Amino acid sequence: MNTLVLASQEQEAEVSLKFYNRAYLHLQDPAELKAWLPQADLVIDLLLHEQPERLAQYNQQGKGEKLTVFFNANNLNLTEFASAHTPLNFHLAGLIGQPLLNREVLEVVPLREDSQRAIDKAFVFLASLYQLVVNKK
């Protein structure tokens, strides 16, 4: 599974601790995404909450239903967050809780109910546990 991580240096350190046994490409500059996104199956975009316009890029340049994007959804309502860019042709799911990644079971909020299979596949690849939760905001 081709995986991209879009994150600051500090966030990437947390990602590497959580998913130490998985290969991924770390991007710090969103401009680099254009070159790598067409091949990506999974994106962990920890900067997306600050730049929601990137949802349009995932829609246009991503693999559609074959792309799953996780992002920091703390203090966000996913439906409102994505509303300006819907319908999305990829699977979008928020990660919530503190700490975001440094815990045994991650909390995941899917935007759409039909994303559960894609989320399952991603977490099997990441060799990590998760639980689906309802968007509380």
On whether the pTM is more than 0.85, the answer is: yes
Domains of the chain with bracketed CATH: 3-132 (3.40.50.720)
Q: How far apart are CA 24 and CA 36, in angstroms?
A: 11
pLDDT digits (tens, 9 = 90+) for 17-43: 999 878 899 998 888 999 999 999 999
pLDDT digits (tens, 9 = 90+) for 55-75: 999 999 999 999 999 999 999
Amino acid at 107: E
Phi/psi at 96 (5° precision): -130, 165
